[in-house]
Structure 1
Amino acid sequence: MLSSALFTGVRILEVIIAIPIIGMLGWFIDPYVDNNETPPDGLLTLFIVSILACAWALVTLFQFHRYRSMSGPFIAVVDIGFVGAWIAGIYLNRGISDADCSSFSAPLGLRVGDNNYSAGDSWSASVNRPCAMFKASWILSIIECVLFFVTCLLSWTLYRSYRYDTRHVHKDYTGGRRSGSTSTYSSHRRHHRHARV
């Protein structure tokens, strides 16, 4: 089924994206742990959410198909809860969205009238590593938020599809059995009537 394959693919993508988020945010949290200090709320929230989301995605990736008949709504509810948690972490760290984490210069100049405009004296590029790492984690968290919303919808869709297929098969089975019994009964009555004549 296409929905089932899509759910599995998105779940795998969620795990793959969560791993670098955990790694980069862990790099920021490590100095606080070494100094017995509490990390900022925004950083800590995003770090905890990424760990729990990764663990949840792994568990449901391997267990969903086995317990799909009863766990679909539960997975959908937990996933929408993670969507809210991602939104909270993203909102708490929204200040990083305006940060400029890199700079670039080139030996280019432009003269307009009596004014000279220069882009730099030489070729150079610099990246603020901590800023770039944190901004990358923030952007990846936005992607995770969207993906968890998608798996929420997919898990509910798969559950409803499974329930519909189960009811449809049960109806066909019971209907076929009833019609088979009727035909057998009719055949028996005809045979009994001919024997009596």
Structure 2
Amino acid sequence: MNDIHIATIAIIVANVLVSLKGFNDPQFFDRYKFNVAAIKAGQRERMATSGFLHVDLAHLFFNMFTLYFFADVVIAWFGPTQFLIIYGISLLAGSLLALFFHKDEPYYSAVGASGAVTGVLYAAILLQPNDSLYLMFIPVPIPAYVLGIGYLLYSIYGMKSRVGNIGHTAHFGGAVGGYATTLLFLPSLLLSDTLMVLLLAIPIVLLFVLGKMGKI
């Protein structure tokens, strides 16, 4: 595996420093976490700052570990600047979708880089959909596009049933951000890999159809 890119290191360092500050300073954590009431009151910076806070070390490690494995794919295709743009847009897309779906829940709060990391993951899958990925406890390789579609379908289920203490909405929004920005940067994928572009769009279209129908 190639050495980790400085852009990935910068994101990991930022997440670690902000998260450690949040672990040791509850007031800092509360001030910068995602909170619907506070954001609607004007503290819109929370939509970005919440993406660098984490609940605990395990939460932080899992997100950074996932980023480590998929960041290089995106950087190899686009370079560090566009990778950072995809990361930032995915973070904000996750927060925007969370705000949209939870706008009537003033006490709804969330933290974590999961939305941004999911955006990078979905971008990597869109770029290399036929790569094989392994999941814990599953000894056979899974095509990346199957994992991507399955993950977003599970996120829709999680949003409907409120499964676990997980920000499914932010994950989904991040994936949408990664997907859309990747196509913006490489529109030729629409012609060169049309089937995969359409397949990976299925859960995104499904979410908005269900939302329009009031099913979520």
The alignment's TM-score, normalised by the length of structure 1, stands at 0.28
Identify the structure with the greater helix proportion: 1
- The structure with more radius of gyration: 1
Relative contact order higher in (CA < 8 Å, ≥ 6 apart): 1
